[in-house]
Homo-oligomer: A and B are copies of this chain.
Amino acid sequence: MSRELLETFPNPRPGREYTIEHVAPEFTSLCPKTGQPDFATITLTYAPAELCVELKSLKMYYHSFRNKGIFYEAVVNEMLDDFVAAFDPLWIEVRGEFHVRGGISSVVVAQSSRAEEPPNR
């Protein structure tokens, strides 16, 4: 399972709230309907709590989507769930910027935080 590829290390400065951003312009997966490749830049931004994500394992995690059929909205939400499960940050955002398909480019952005209210409104 992809989530297990994510490795972590202890936050070197746990008492201070600060942010880490990793920008990965080489993400690729497959369209579940056509089987054709999709391409995106994935930007992960988070404020670490006890744990940070290890950079090389993050790269391997992204690569695990290479031959997987998955929709844009599912890519971003599944990653957010995996990241929260793996290193449970104070705050986190996942942003996927997908290349032009049919003359339209798309961006999907999801956030989560420890202080978050229940999602009903």
Contact = CB atoms under 8 A, between A and B. Distances in A.
Residue among A18, A66, A111 with the highest chain B CB neighbour number at 10 A? A18
Contact of A22 (B37, B67, B80, B106): B106
A68 interface: no
Interface residues of A, number: 54
A25 B73 contact: no
Task: Give the dominant DSSP class at A's interface.
Answer: mixed
Contact of A15 (B52, B55, B120): B120
Interface of A: 11-13, 15-26, 28, 36-37, 39, 48, 52, 55-56, 58-59, 63, 66-67, 71-74, 76-77, 80, 90, 99-112, 115, 119-121
